[in-house]
Chains A and B, each alone.
Chain A
């Protein structure tokens, strides 16, 4: 469960988020809003990458400001650009990187890496240079690198923006099928149509919150007004 209590955030003089009070218990939560609406800052707050200048963000009762390490072990994060997330030269090594320092045996690391690559269709690319993958495969790798750590929550900030339609659908279908709680920030409204809850942000404020049909209609009205 994710809770935001009186959360606001400022970058210098600019108010990025204001007065957010939310409790997210749904398994699939979408976030929409125009560029500069505060979506990415909101997403980063859930992982403790950005700390609120006012209020508190709690993930399963853990405060992102005081227990950041524990929060990051619980909340995985997928970025828009997978190239920024890939650190190791080969696919399997990059997936294994997130398991370093967790006290797992080499055999256990290999088992978990093999399992996640198999599940998401990258097993035959395990030893391939990561930088030579296609855009879609790189985003899958970024997803695998996060999921191998078995987070309770997955936050994805526009993970399909750089992908073609086929790969974008594949990634969204994967996110929908995950057992984890997923918070997906997206401009692709159709990707959120079967989510349980959608939040609409505008100029840092929550202007609509509810099931996709009403929230997305509110967003479309906002954009066209």
Chain B
């Protein structure tokens, strides 16, 4: 029905809170890479976003990733781009867009990691608080 269907919506002035929930290890499945593509595209829409890492998803941010033995691209430097987008948006008063990078405390601890082991600056948040934040979102997308 692509031809006779309005395929664009009027979203002018609409502002929502998005949460992107990264739950899986960076390699072993494509979810981490493809949700990252989603996060990057969303930046153009200037929406509020919480980019959250829980469970094995916390490994996505680990420093020193080496994928040479896997024959896969190491896409972890792209998280720095996310961090830059976040800083740019948060520092620019003309853009009504707040981004947060959040790592669940319990997931981090269970894997013997701390914030210093990660590639980007993060907010470490306890599961209970994160749960409340998730409930307050308009749109939750996961990978």
A and B held together in a complex? no
